[in-house]
Amino acid sequence: MQTKDLRAILKDLKGLFAAADAKEPVKDFDAIDRLLEPCDDEDVSETLDRIARDLTADPEPVDITIARHAQKLRDAGYDATAFGAALAALKSDKAMTKPAVFKVLKMYAGPHVRATTKKAALDQIERHFTSLIYDRHADEQAKRATPW
C-alpha cells in the first residue's frame, strides 16, 4: 500500500470525526497527515519506519545546543542581520532555560558579564553586540583622525 492511499483513508476517517464535531481527533488526523504528506510515493511500511526513527531520535544534548548558539552569535561578527537571526533563534529555542542562556552569555560576552534573569541575560547579549559595533566605529574614527 502506498502512503497516499493511507492518507486517503485517514482523510475519510477525519471527515467522520469532523461530522461528529470531535475536534481533538480531527487535530490528531491533521498532525498525522502532515507527517505522511512528504512521503506519498513511498510504501506505508517504509514511511512508518522512517517516522518511528525520527520520533525516537535523541534530542541534541543541551551543552551542544549552548555551544551552537554561542558560536552563531560569535560568527555574526559585526553583521546586524546575522546577529538578529542568531538572537531570534536563541530566544525561540525552548531548550534554552535560564542557566543555559547564562552559559551562552558567558561564552559570547565573557565571564565578567552577569545577569539575574533570562531576559536580563538576553539583554546583555544584545548590549555586548552593540558595544562591539560602537567600539569598531570608535576605532575607525580614531584611525581617520590620527594621521600617523
Query: What are the CA-CA distances from residue 85 to residues 19, 73, 108, 116 (Å)?
Result: 43, 9, 15, 24
- Dump pLDDT digits (tens) for 65-85: 999 999 999 999 999 999 999
Domain ranges of the chain: 3-56, 62-145
User: How large is the C-alpha radius of gyration of the chain?
Assistant: 24
Q: Is 93 exposed, middle or buried (0-12, 13-18, 19+ CB in 10 A)?
A: middle
- Dump pLDDT digits (tens) for 23-62: 899 999 888 888 888 888 889 888 888 888 877 766 667 8
